[in-house]
Structures are given as C-alpha cells and as structure tokens.
Amino acid sequence: MLYNKLHQRAGLNQFVLIKKMDAMCESVGVPAVKSVTAVSGDDACQWFVMRDLTRPNAKLPAYKLLDGLNIRTFTPMVWKLMLNHGKRERRQMPFIHDLLFVYASRSELDSVVETTPMLQYRYLRGGYKMPMTVRAADMQRFIHAVGLSSSPQYYRPDEVTPAMRNRRIRIIGGNLDGYEGSLITTRGSKVKRLLVEIPMLLAATVEVETEFIQLL
C-alpha cells in the first residue's frame, strides 16, 4: 500500500502515519460537503476521529496499539518534558493525547473498539451514535503540509484567534502549490507561515517561501 510511517529528523516534531492493509480500503468514501462528517457506510474506509483514553504516559497508547494491528493512523507529535523516576526527560508525545485520526472501515474499527475500552469514537453533536469522520481530501491536505514542514506548529481550535485569519493567501508554486489559507508572521522573524486546518479539530502553521505567496 501507499503509506508507511513517516518520521521527521531527530529533534523535530514528528507525526505518525501507519501503513494500511487490505484491498477493501483502496476505495475511499469521500462525503461532499463538510470536512467533519458522519459515517456513510460500514465497508468504506474513512478517516474516523477517535478518543484515546489512556494516560498520557501510557506504555501502549492507542496509536501504538493500532500500529500493531497494521491500521493506519495520524497523530501530530511534539517534544514534551516528562518525569521518569524523578528525572526530567524529553519525549515525543501526541500534541493532543485524546485526539487520534484512524483510517479504516467502520466494521473493522468496531471490532477493535469493542475489545479496547480506552479507544472510543468521537460522535457528532445532535446525532445518535454517529461517529465523526473527516473527508479524505482534507486529511491528505493537512498531512501533506505538515509532513513537508521541518517545524510545524500545532494549535487547538480555541487557540486560533481571529487575528490569525486576517491575511488570506494562495501558494503559487513549490511543494504547497494551490494551497490557500491565512498568512502567519511573527514580529522579529523573517519566517512566514501558512495556517492549515482540520476544522473544529486541529490546526497547524507550516513554513512557506515568500516567492510563492500570492495575497488574496
């Protein structure tokens, strides 16, 4: 299949992509309207939005469990200081521990959830037991952008302020050609960043070259 674990160089943020398995998942159901959607079928592979209820320092967090089952996941990783037997050490940990994106069919994932109490679906508000999913195109857009960045900076949805959305840009050329979003700059820094999002769930800024920026 197309995807293996992608790891960034040591000392940089890392995200996890886990290889997916059977031929059933080669056709992806892509809902047409919103990024976050409801499930459209038990046998179509989709990006499910899951909760990992294990402790932050658990030896077997959900993404590692699913890795062992050859189920593809995505979770952004960041460096954090952790206490280990009274000593502080830097470890790569999920940016949001209880947020995990899993690419699988509903029937396949159900069998894992039923036997793993610490792994749960996230459900749409107002819907009866309707698991949240993200459109395949939106997930790939986000994964592609942060995968190309040497230092992606992640944000929770409530950390993205209106001021961060003031300047809309389009990227013309380069590895992010065709991307649109908000331009993020920091006073005193020459680095320019593009804000990319999985609406209501996760955001990140990634470096962009000035020569590729077109103001909208």
Per-residue pLDDT tens digits of the chain, which is 216 residues long: 333 333 333 233 333 333 333 334 443 333 333 566 666 556 889 999 999 999 987 889 999 999 999 999 999 999 888 777 788 888 888 999 999 999 999 999 999 999 999 999 999 887 678 899 999 999 999 999 999 999 999 999 999 999 999 899 999 999 999 999 999 998 888 999 999 999 999 999 999 999 999 999
Backbone φ, ψ for residue 203 (5° rounding): -140, 160
Per CATH, the number for 14-145 is: 3.30.70
Domain locations in the chain as residue ranges:
14-145, 151-215
**pLDDT for the residue numbered 1:** 36
Q: Tell me the one-letter amino acid at 189.
A: S
Q: Which residues pair with 131 in a beta bridge?
A: 123
d(C-alpha 75, C-alpha 102), whole Å? 9
d(C-alpha 175, C-alpha 180), whole Å? 13
Q: Which residues of 78-92 are buried (b: 16+ CB within 10 A; e: fewer)?
A: beeeeeeeeeeeeeb
Reading the block at residue 187, the tokens are 């006073």
